[in-house]
Structure 1
Amino acid sequence: MVLKKLKQESEIALRHIIVLQEVQKNQPIGIFKLSELLNMPKHRIRYSLRVLEQSGIIEATQYGAVIKEGAEKEFEKLKKEIDTIIKNIEELKRRVGEI
């Protein structure tokens, strides 16, 4: 499948955003509680938290993950990246439709 990797990566990115939303709603929150709330395995939650932390969006505290101060800039970057991805997907769809 030509787009298999893109599909997988988009699913992982969506999981990161779902985890981020849950952190925002319930901060501070730990891996076990996130796993329970989202019905996801702990290793996936742990990976998403690591990616979000490395991206400068969340930080680990002794009480659990919290949104990092100043993360609004990162949220704006995310929105711009998503807009670019949507444009690319629309172009892909248009070109495939021409085949």
Structure 2
Amino acid sequence: MKGHSVLTSKIEAEVELLERHVVMLNAIKKHEPIGIIRLSELLDIPQHKVRYSLRILEQEGLINPSPEGAVTTEKLDEFYERVVDILDRMEVTVGKLKGELELEFRKNIKV
């Protein structure tokens, strides 16, 4: 039921965007230097979305442009570590929330 709730649509979109950025970073690291067209073909992502992600990743200092294409920076491993830490904390929070919702849902079914 993606996109059907104002309460959840923003977090779904942000997680999907993070996923795209991480997939792109992994591809850049594996194939660097790599350009927009090749990234688009490799990942089956439209070029306009590749451009947007590259702009964000460059602003974050995770990639640098070069004449041959994007290359990763030394900040990449620190970024991965930070995101894993954030996702670990989010996993705990989401697990608690899911448990609370399931409990309430079961209560409502028994009534």
Aligned-partner residue type, residue 78 of structure 2: K
| Structure of greater Rg | 2
RMSD of aligned alpha carbons: 1.3
Please say if 1:72 is aligned against 2:89: no
Q: Which runs of 4+ in 1 moved over 3 A?
A: none
Indicate the residue corresponding to 1:57 in structure 2. Answer: 62
TM-score by length of 2: 0.81
Give the partner amino acid of 1:84. R
Aligned length: 99
1:71-95 per-position Cα deviation (integer Å, ceiling 9, x unaligned) = 3222211211111221221122112
Say whether residues 1:39 and 2:63 are aligned partners.
no
Letter aligned with residue 88 of structure 1: T
The share of aligned pairs that are identical, in percent, is 36
SS at 1:98's partner residue? helix
Gap runs ≥5 in structure 1: none
Calculate the TM-score normalised by the size of structure 1. 0.90
Deviations 1:37-58 (A, max 9, x none): 1111001111111121222211
Corresponding letter in the other structure for 1:95: E
